[in-house]
Structure 1
Amino acid sequence: MIEYLLIFITLFILIQAYFAVADKYNIIDKPNHRSAHSQITLRGGGIIFPIAFIIFSIFNYKEVMETYWSFGLGLLAICLVSFIDDVRTLSGKIRITVHFLSVALLLNFTGTFSAMPVWVWPAFFIMIIGTLNAYNFMDGINGMTGAYTLVTLLTLFYINRDIITFTQENFIMYALLASLVFLFFNFRKKAKCFAGDVGSMGIGFWLIALITLLIMKTQDYRYILLFSVYGMEVVLTIIERLMMKENIFEAHRRHLYQLLANEKRMSHLVISAVYALTQLVINLFLIHSELPVYAIIPIIFIPLGSVYLFLKLRLKKKVQSSVIK
């Protein structure tokens, strides 16, 4: 317990040091017509996640050299390219190449390559890169990434401790502590910092690694549903944009959380809390249910999708009526 307190304090001090650097070198997020915020805010606060892994490596050097080295290389590579992209835009070819290499290192770390036939590997690459980008798409308002991440990590910590051990406890705890430090500065009406690509990609990579380890250990693919809320929103939003013949790779404001924040003027913190609590309810049902995955999926997605579509249609009608007026 003392160790975790010291790590928390260390992370707290280090993120403050980053703020000084970001302020000096003007690493900021300027709001534009697509933004859900209106004030200039420090960008890249999510750098606390790769920093947390570096500290984890220092205190667990032997385990990292034996087990976690490929995860660490993948995490640091994807965080580095994401941080550079936060500061100055990189070409898509560079980003996707690093993402591909990082995912390969992650699959090596989780034992997926040795456990699965070669013809399945491409599906894992597509799913993981898609999930990473979905995590990035959903990082748009104060508290969203931090709160959702905290719920997911707490669920994984509970599963690891009380249901089935699939990784070293510290490997989850360091991510949890980093998430709490980030939330302290981001879960505010006027956020001190945003995660940036380095944060959303970094913690997304860490969570995917943990969930993949869990799936490899249990051979239970229902744990993919720990990303239910994010997954459903991103998939439905992409379908909507494809139907409207929009470029799905361009920035937009069609996510439900964006409409709630921008059109309904709801509090960012309320929206983020609702998303996180919704996922928490799903997680509690998921880990305590004995139903097979094919029965769990409709139980989760039919009501969740119905609420999503109802709210989306109401908000779109409101936007259309305001334009007409």
Structure 2
Amino acid sequence: MQGDGGLPVNIDRYGPRLAALVAGMLLALPWYGLGLILQSIKLVLASALLTYAFMPAVIWLAHRIGALDRPGARRVHQQPTPRIGGLAVFISVNISLLFNFNYSVELKAICISGALVAALSMWDDVKGLSASWKLLGQLVAMLILFQSGMLLEFNQEERLVALLGSSWGIGIDMFLEYLITALWIIGIANAFNFLDGINGLAAALAAAVCLLMGLLAAVTAQVFMLLLCVAVAGSAIGFLPDNARYTRPARAFLGDTGSIYLGWMMAGIAVMGEWSDTSSLQAYAAPLLIFSVMIFDMIYTTIARIHRGDVTGLSSWVSYVGRDHLHHRLMYLGLSQKQTVMAVVAIALITGLAALVLVKSGYLSIWLLLGQGLVIYLLLSFIMVMAAQRVEDGE
């Protein structure tokens, strides 16, 4: 690949990419008579192959329009790298879903709002966009989800806010449901973007989270949730060959185009899913555990940045870029990029599998599983403090 703005050459031998394109398109077409599991496997393969096939074109486009991530003090990479790799992810998700002609209102709302978020994020990757405009665009995308009826609803018998709403007569319960839904989806989308700091981490984490949610969807026969999960998981897997490269430079990064889009899709799927019919504790604890790695990273770094004075408001919170995330701290302690990715994904799998057990557990088991997660993140907090101290001491 040529450096600094030149068009790429010899990205890869194109034979495997063309074969992947043909195979991916054939797998994306509807095959009638398949069971749910075979249909899911077919969609995972289709979206993975399509992402892999589209990457050379996306890399060429990035060089053509100058959408390159330059090396810097807060960057891990050492050469200009295309930063709109998420475009291939976005295209493959939508092609694999579009050709199956199997939609629900919620599925369409997630895809349409995700398209708006991806478009705004790509504009930011190419031209630059202020944090205020990005947030405004995400709020507009939330309106699409609300219009479809997607909402985190509290159990009528168990919620305190319902009692407050009844007493005050101002519908505070519904207001809080809309507010918490917006905070969840926008918060997770941006938290996931924060974790996209080293090769392979965001894509591997997205694949793990979506496969975990897909497993729940398969067991509970939530067809549309399962379709979204496997399409997003496959697209993330298909991106890894061009990004998760540890002995050679990555060919492309997800950029905001991919990381915010993937975070948005995952958060939307979590709202779409039916996590428990019997307990609000199960319904909310399960997705919190599945997404706990990115939630922990967002909360820890936000508190640390406010304490240091690096973040003073919402705009600076969205736009601030630093090397104080979980993956950076693990690398400060001596882990390689590959080892760091494996460690973070392992934590996500442990807490995610605990979430799947939790949805079928009694109250005592639920609290024990939540306690297990708390212990894990207390240990991680200690590790991050140690790493920060090492940086301050100049080791």
Same fold (TM over 0.5): yes
Report the more deviating stretch, 134-143 or 123-132: 123-132
Matching residue of 1:243 = 307
- CA deviations 1:270-323 (Å, max 9, x no partner) are 10111011110111122123144555333211x222322222232223223227
Mapped partners of 1:322, 1:213: distance in 2: 47
Question: Deviation at 1:179?
Answer: 0.9
Mapped partners of 2:90, 2:216: distance in 1: 24
Mapped partners of 2:310, 2:150: distance in 1: 38
Q: Which letter maps to 1:40? A: P
- Residue 79 (structure 2) pairs with residue 46 (structure 1): no
Q: Structure 1 13/296 Cα, relative in aligned 2: closer, same or farther at 3 Å? A: same
Question: Deviation at 1:265?
Answer: 5.0
Higher relative contact order (CA 8 A, sep 6+): 1
- CA deviations 1:155-177 (Å, max 9, x no partner) are 11211112452635332222122
Q: Structure 1 285/71 Cα, relative in aligned 2: closer, same or farther at 3 Å? A: closer
Count matched residues.
Answer: 320
- CA deviations 1:202-254 (Å, max 9, x no partner) are 11111111111124774511222211111112101211222222225222122
The 5 A counterparts of 1:152-231 are 152-165=209-222, 167-189=224-246, 190-215=249-274, 218=277, 220-222=283-285, 223-231=287-295
Q: Which letter maps to 1:102? A: A
Contiguous gaps of at least 5 residues in structure 1: none
Q: Which letter maps to 2:96? A: F
Mapped partners of 1:14, 1:210: distance in 2: 25
Could you say which structure has the larger radius of gyration?
2
Q: Structure 1 169/299 Cα, relative in aligned 2: closer, same or farther at 3 Å? A: closer
Could you state the TM-score of these two structures normalised by the residue count of structure 2? Answer: 0.74
Mapped partners of 2:254, 2:296: distance in 1: 22
Aligned-pair identity in percent equals 20
Mapped partners of 2:368, 2:203: distance in 1: 30
More helix by share: 1
The 5 A counterparts of 1:95-114 are 95-109=134-148, 111-112=150-151
Matching residue of 2:9 = none
Contact residue 41 and residue 191 of structure 1 kept, 8 A: yes
The 5 A counterparts of 1:268-307 are 268-289=337-358, 290-292=361-363, 293-301=366-374, 303-307=375-379
Mapped partners of 2:114, 2:140: distance in 1: 10
Mapped partners of 1:254, 1:114: distance in 2: 34
SS in 2 for 1:284: helix
Contact residue 117 and residue 141 of structure 2 kept, 8 A: yes
Matching residue of 2:383 = 311
Contact residue 65 and residue 126 of structure 2 kept, 8 A: no
Mapped partners of 1:107, 1:216: distance in 2: 19
- Residue 145 (structure 2) pairs with residue 72 (structure 1): no
